Amino acid sequence: MAMNLLYRSLLIVLLLTVYSCGTRQAAPSQEDRQDSIVQDTDTLLVDVMEPFPDTMMPSAEKVMFKIDTFDQELSPMLSDLHDLYDNASGIFTFRGSLSRNPNFFGRLHGDTVNINVDWVFTTHSDTTHTTHGVWGGGTGWTGQPLYIHWPDSLMDRMQQPKDSLLRLSNQELVVASLCGKVYFIDFNTGNPTRMFFNAKNVLKGTPSFNPLFNGDLYIGHGVPKHNPFGHVVFNLYTEQQTQAFGKDRTAWRGWNAYDSSPIVVGGFLFRPGENGTLYKYHVGEDSIQLHSTFRYSLSRYHSSPGIESSMAVCRNYGYLNDNAGNILCVNLNTLKPVWHYHNHDDSDATPVVDMEDGIPYVYSGCEVDRQGATGVSYFVKLNGLTGEKIWEDTIRGRRIQFNDKKLDAGMFGSPLLGGGDCSDLIFSNFCINTLTEKGCLVAFDKHDGTIRYKTMTQQYSWSSPVAFYNDNDEMFLFTGDGAGYVYLIKGSTGEIVASKRIGSNFESSPIVVDDKIIIGSRGNKIFRISLE
């Protein structure tokens, strides 16, 4: 216990990121991200933010919930509120930050843009027939790669690979595949850096790497093939699975998948589950221990909705969507609900938080699922302190059958806040699925929700867009669709600057590293792409 307290105290002193809950009004430079500290002759002071209040709005009173605490000795309070991911040497979770507004972007140089494939990595393909179909390989939704830039001081901690054909790299990609394996890839060459880890079940979501560099990789199962079916921890220093968490028999929902990408903040790991539970783990130097759980329902029969979205965080507030259309704000110190908003339909897309004038605002959207074969996707902006709706807009769509698969309409990818010349906009992909319109990228005015434009794509898109900026700080968006096309779109106008068909189905979300794009597709391919 003393070592854990010392460990946590040292972390507070070492945290150097000033956290703004996702504010992105321009294309930031590396200099903009430098540490913000105040130092005098006697004391080093690190900027510390005040937590949001421990309140429960009237809308939360309809939420039936149960909090179980398993470690009574450890304080439940977050030890620090800064975003450990924001200045981390890599992209360690879905969308790269607590606010889920990507802290990575690329630069464009020149007027002509060509889309080039630098390398292709091929995964295995699993032909096992599960109760939910055959999943093959490659990556699905959300399927975002992680990127770890290992400090030289930590390279020696990792085991040297036994196979001489593999070589560790200090620029390493981590990709969780539908075939059930986690791959480790050299960012520069596309070659494997170490042997894959077999997680034994279908992997759909995005894993997370601990930003404190304790080596822990948190992986969630998506579809069962073997027991235990749940989530596991794999340590990259020892290259061993260190923990496995199977079925939670006390959960209020029976489906035990974990598509959500967990997040570390204030000494705790928060992992939402499709069994309707938010898990709070204490993170130690070499282990995680369950601290408490939050289970909830909007029904007196305790049927709980599942959480497929990743939780967005601002200070001590966490924001969740679920498949019953609920948007919840939870106080991460106490695990009590702060407010509740019902957004009409299944909401799997991860929300995004943006700070404006000291107030966090939450952007989220839903699907066309429970409404029936046709309906509308509701895209909303909410006050993150109260749950008050600021504005709402809608995109119509319909459900279709596509290759023996039911495809709902609406929003599956996460929104992207505008920057540079698009700082007043927020963008998101939508599935429309009509005969004439398959999918589109929509630009909304952040202030009133007005739709500035829609850019049509060849097929539906579940992928989340990422940003590029040219030398004039004009914003461009890169995204993919279900037909295997990728697009570069001018943010201010919606003009498609370049497009190319290179994959089979880009349901997965991309990342940007050193002006290069890494994205996986259904099938069995992972791509590195350059825009030149």
pLDDT at 164: 58
Q: For residue range 84-127, list pLDDT tens digits in order.
A: 999 899 999 999 999 999 999 999 998 889 999 999 999 999 99
pLDDT at 401: 85
pLDDT at 287: 80
pLDDT at 286: 77
Average model confidence (pLDDT) across the chain: 90
Q: Across residues 373-393, what is the average pLDDT? A: 98
pTM score, two decimals?
Answer: 0.92
CA distance 387 to 112: 44
Bridge partners of residue 511, in order along the sequence: 518
Q: What is the largest CA-CA distance in the chain?
A: 69
Q: Across residues 294-315, what is the average pLDDT? A: 90
CA distance 445 to 449: 5
pLDDT at 61: 95
pLDDT at 159: 72
Letter string b/e over residues 54-84, b meaning 16 or more CB atoms within 10 A of that residue's CB = eebbebbeebbbebeeeeeebebebebbbbb
Q: Across residues 195-218, what is the average pLDDT? A: 97
Q: Any long-range contacts for 128-132 (C-beta under 8 Å, 24+ apart)?
A: 128/225, 130/202, 130/223, 130/224, 130/225, 131/224, 132/223
Domain membership of residue 17 as a residue range: 2-531
pLDDT at 41: 27
Q: How confident is the model at residue 46 (pLDDT cuts 50, 70, 90)?
A: very low
pLDDT at 161: 64
pLDDT at 279: 98
Q: How confident is the model at residue 301 (pLDDT cuts 50, 70, 90)?
A: low
Q: For residue range 485-510, list pLDDT tens digits in order.
A: 999 999 999 999 999 999 999 999 99
Say if residue 35's pLDDT is above 60.
no
CATH label of the domain that carries residue 109? 2.130.10.10
Question: How many folded domains does the chain comprise?
Answer: 1
Q: For residue range 310-352, list pLDDT tens digits in order.
A: 999 999 999 999 999 999 999 999 999 999 999 999 999 999 9
pLDDT at 166: 82
Q: Across residues 277-302, what is the average pLDDT? A: 90
